[in-house]
Amino acid sequence: MKNSKVKIKTITNLSNEWYKLDKVNFDFQTKSGTWQNQNRESYDRGDGAAILLYNPDKKKVILTKQFRMPSYLNGNNDGMMIEVCAGLLDNDNPVDCIKKETEEETGFKIENPIKIFEIYSTPGAVTEKIHYFIAEYNDDLKITSGGGLVEESEEIEVIELDFYKALTMVSTGEICDAKTIILLQYAKINNLV
Protein backbone atom coordinates (compact mmCIF):
# COMPACT_ATOMS: atom_id res chain seq x y z
CA MET A 1 0.00 0.00 0.00
CA LYS A 2 1.37 3.37 -1.02
CA ASN A 3 1.75 6.22 1.47
CA SER A 4 -0.94 8.86 0.74
CA LYS A 5 1.29 11.50 2.38
CA VAL A 6 3.95 11.18 -0.33
CA LYS A 7 3.60 12.49 -3.89
CA ILE A 8 6.65 11.92 -6.07
CA LYS A 9 7.03 14.78 -8.54
CA THR A 10 10.21 13.88 -10.45
CA ILE A 11 13.04 11.38 -10.36
CA THR A 12 16.21 12.59 -12.03
CA ASN A 13 19.04 10.16 -12.63
CA LEU A 14 22.37 11.62 -11.45
CA SER A 15 24.61 8.62 -12.14
CA ASN A 16 24.54 5.10 -13.52
CA GLU A 17 28.32 4.67 -13.37
CA TRP A 18 28.56 1.85 -10.81
CA TYR A 19 25.02 1.69 -9.47
CA LYS A 20 22.06 4.02 -9.82
CA LEU A 21 21.94 7.40 -8.04
CA ASP A 22 18.69 9.36 -8.38
CA LYS A 23 17.50 12.74 -7.11
CA VAL A 24 13.87 12.46 -6.01
CA ASN A 25 11.69 15.56 -5.76
CA PHE A 26 8.50 14.93 -3.81
CA ASP A 27 5.77 16.53 -1.75
CA PHE A 28 5.37 15.28 1.82
CA GLN A 29 2.34 15.96 4.01
CA THR A 30 3.35 16.82 7.59
CA LYS A 31 1.41 15.98 10.75
CA SER A 32 -0.16 19.45 10.64
CA GLY A 33 -1.59 18.67 7.19
CA THR A 34 0.60 21.08 5.25
CA TRP A 35 2.57 19.88 2.24
CA GLN A 36 6.33 20.38 2.00
CA ASN A 37 8.39 19.98 -1.15
CA GLN A 38 11.58 18.02 -0.49
CA ASN A 39 14.55 16.63 -2.40
CA ARG A 40 16.47 13.47 -1.51
CA GLU A 41 19.15 11.46 -3.23
CA SER A 42 18.59 7.72 -3.37
CA TYR A 43 21.36 5.24 -4.15
CA ASP A 44 20.13 1.95 -5.62
CA ARG A 45 22.70 -0.82 -5.64
CA GLY A 46 20.23 -3.68 -5.41
CA ASP A 47 19.54 -5.92 -2.44
CA GLY A 48 22.11 -8.15 -0.76
CA ALA A 49 22.60 -11.16 1.46
CA ALA A 50 24.99 -11.78 4.36
CA ILE A 51 25.81 -14.91 6.36
CA LEU A 52 27.54 -15.86 9.57
CA LEU A 53 29.22 -19.25 9.33
CA TYR A 54 29.67 -20.69 12.81
CA ASN A 55 30.98 -23.91 14.32
CA PRO A 56 29.49 -24.61 17.77
CA ASP A 57 31.93 -27.47 18.48
CA LYS A 58 35.08 -25.46 17.77
CA LYS A 59 33.49 -22.18 19.04
CA LYS A 60 34.65 -20.44 15.87
CA VAL A 61 33.26 -18.28 13.06
CA ILE A 62 34.34 -17.66 9.49
CA LEU A 63 34.87 -14.02 8.51
CA THR A 64 36.49 -12.33 5.54
CA LYS A 65 38.91 -9.44 5.16
CA GLN A 66 39.08 -7.20 2.13
CA PHE A 67 39.78 -3.62 1.01
CA ARG A 68 36.77 -1.25 1.07
CA MET A 69 37.39 2.11 -0.63
CA PRO A 70 34.49 4.03 1.00
CA SER A 71 35.76 3.08 4.47
CA TYR A 72 39.27 4.16 3.43
CA LEU A 73 37.91 7.56 2.38
CA ASN A 74 36.19 7.91 5.77
CA GLY A 75 39.04 7.34 8.20
CA ASN A 76 39.81 3.61 7.94
CA ASN A 77 43.59 3.98 7.64
CA ASP A 78 44.30 0.89 5.54
CA GLY A 79 40.81 0.42 4.11
CA MET A 80 40.70 -3.22 5.19
CA MET A 81 37.42 -4.47 6.70
CA ILE A 82 36.70 -7.68 8.58
CA GLU A 83 33.22 -8.82 7.61
CA VAL A 84 30.84 -11.73 7.31
CA CYS A 85 30.52 -13.19 3.83
CA ALA A 86 28.09 -11.10 1.77
CA GLY A 87 27.13 -10.12 -1.73
CA LEU A 88 24.55 -8.51 -3.96
CA LEU A 89 21.61 -10.61 -5.12
CA ASP A 90 22.00 -9.55 -8.74
CA ASN A 91 19.38 -11.80 -10.37
CA ASP A 92 19.44 -14.54 -7.73
CA ASN A 93 17.02 -15.18 -4.90
CA PRO A 94 18.58 -14.58 -1.46
CA VAL A 95 19.21 -18.29 -0.68
CA ASP A 96 20.92 -19.02 -4.00
CA CYS A 97 22.92 -15.81 -3.72
CA ILE A 98 24.27 -16.54 -0.25
CA LYS A 99 25.16 -20.15 -1.13
CA LYS A 100 27.09 -18.93 -4.19
CA GLU A 101 28.79 -16.08 -2.30
CA THR A 102 29.77 -18.40 0.55
CA GLU A 103 31.49 -20.79 -1.83
CA GLU A 104 33.20 -18.02 -3.86
CA GLU A 105 34.39 -15.99 -0.87
CA THR A 106 35.08 -18.60 1.81
CA GLY A 107 35.41 -21.90 -0.05
CA PHE A 108 32.70 -23.55 2.07
CA LYS A 109 29.83 -25.29 0.29
CA ILE A 110 26.71 -24.94 2.41
CA GLU A 111 23.33 -26.47 1.63
CA ASN A 112 20.78 -25.10 4.10
CA PRO A 113 21.40 -21.53 5.20
CA ILE A 114 18.78 -20.29 7.68
CA LYS A 115 17.31 -16.86 6.99
CA ILE A 116 16.83 -14.92 10.21
CA PHE A 117 15.64 -11.47 9.03
CA GLU A 118 15.86 -8.63 6.51
CA ILE A 119 17.25 -5.18 7.36
CA TYR A 120 17.51 -1.80 5.61
CA SER A 121 20.96 -0.69 6.80
CA THR A 122 20.90 2.94 5.61
CA PRO A 123 17.26 3.74 4.73
CA GLY A 124 17.86 7.49 4.53
CA ALA A 125 20.12 7.20 1.49
CA VAL A 126 20.34 3.64 0.15
CA THR A 127 17.53 1.39 -1.13
CA GLU A 128 19.40 -1.83 -0.28
CA LYS A 129 17.73 -4.42 1.93
CA ILE A 130 20.05 -7.13 3.27
CA HIS A 131 18.82 -10.69 3.84
CA TYR A 132 20.63 -12.11 6.88
CA PHE A 133 21.51 -15.80 7.18
CA ILE A 134 23.33 -18.17 9.52
CA ALA A 135 24.74 -21.62 8.82
CA GLU A 136 26.85 -24.13 10.66
CA TYR A 137 30.10 -25.13 9.02
CA ASN A 138 32.67 -27.86 9.53
CA ASP A 139 35.96 -28.68 7.87
CA ASP A 140 34.31 -31.26 5.57
CA LEU A 141 32.38 -28.45 3.83
CA LYS A 142 35.59 -26.68 2.72
CA ILE A 143 35.91 -27.46 -1.01
CA THR A 144 38.14 -24.58 -2.22
CA SER A 145 40.40 -21.94 -0.71
CA GLY A 146 37.81 -19.21 -1.41
CA GLY A 147 39.13 -15.68 -1.83
CA GLY A 148 36.51 -14.33 -4.25
CA LEU A 149 36.44 -14.05 -8.02
CA VAL A 150 39.31 -12.57 -10.00
CA GLU A 151 36.88 -11.29 -12.66
CA GLU A 152 35.13 -9.26 -9.93
CA SER A 153 38.51 -7.87 -8.76
CA GLU A 154 38.01 -9.59 -5.40
CA GLU A 155 40.96 -10.33 -3.17
CA ILE A 156 39.45 -11.77 -0.01
CA GLU A 157 41.25 -13.27 2.96
CA VAL A 158 39.30 -15.99 4.76
CA ILE A 159 39.63 -15.84 8.55
CA GLU A 160 38.58 -18.47 11.06
CA LEU A 161 38.25 -16.75 14.44
CA ASP A 162 37.39 -17.79 17.95
CA PHE A 163 33.84 -16.52 18.48
CA TYR A 164 34.66 -14.68 21.71
CA LYS A 165 37.72 -13.08 20.10
CA ALA A 166 35.43 -11.80 17.33
CA LEU A 167 33.12 -10.28 19.95
CA THR A 168 36.13 -8.63 21.62
CA MET A 169 37.20 -7.26 18.22
CA VAL A 170 33.83 -5.50 18.00
CA SER A 171 34.53 -3.82 21.35
CA THR A 172 38.03 -2.76 20.27
CA GLY A 173 36.84 -1.44 16.89
CA GLU A 174 38.76 -4.01 14.85
CA ILE A 175 35.39 -5.23 13.56
CA CYS A 176 33.26 -2.21 12.66
CA ASP A 177 31.03 -3.51 9.88
CA ALA A 178 27.31 -3.30 10.75
CA LYS A 179 26.17 -6.57 9.18
CA THR A 180 28.98 -8.45 10.92
CA ILE A 181 28.20 -6.93 14.31
CA ILE A 182 24.50 -7.68 13.85
CA LEU A 183 25.16 -11.35 13.05
CA LEU A 184 27.72 -11.80 15.84
CA GLN A 185 25.27 -10.30 18.33
CA TYR A 186 22.51 -12.56 16.99
CA ALA A 187 24.77 -15.57 17.56
CA LYS A 188 25.56 -14.42 21.10
CA ILE A 189 21.92 -13.69 22.02
CA ASN A 190 20.76 -17.04 20.63
CA ASN A 191 23.67 -19.08 22.09
CA LEU A 192 24.69 -20.46 18.71
CA VAL A 193 28.36 -20.75 19.61
Look up the CATH number of the domain holding residue 143: 3.90.79.10
Which pTM was predicted? Answer: 0.92
Read off the pLDDT of residues 121-159 as tens digits, 9 standing for 90 and up.
999 999 999 999 999 999 999 999 888 776 776 789 999
Regarding whether 176 and 106 lie in a shared domain, the answer is yes
Question: Which pLDDT score is estimated for 146?
Answer: 86
Q: Does one domain contain both 38 and 91?
A: no
Q: Do 58 and 132 sit in the same domain of this protein?
A: yes
**147 and 109 within one domain:** yes
SS (H, E, C) the chain: CCCCCEEEEEEEEEECCCCEEEEEEEEEECCCCCEEEEEEEEEECCCEEEEEEEECCCCEEEEEEEECHHHHHCCCCCCEEEECEEEECCCCCHHHHHHHHHHHHHCECCCCCEEEEEEECCCCCECCEEEEEEEECCHHHECCCCCCCHHHCCCCEEEEEEHHHHHHHHHHCCCCCHHHHHHHHHHHHCCCC
The pLDDT value recorded for residue 150 is 67
**Do residues 176 and 150 both lie within one domain?**
yes
Identify whether 1 is part of a domain: no
Q: Residue 24: give the domain boundaries.
A: 6-44
Q: What is the pLDDT of residue 18?
A: 86
Same domain, 31 and 19: yes
Q: Are residues 111 and 72 in the same domain?
A: yes
pLDDT digits (tens, 9 = 90+) for 67-77: 999 999 999 99
**How many domains does the chain contain in total?**
2
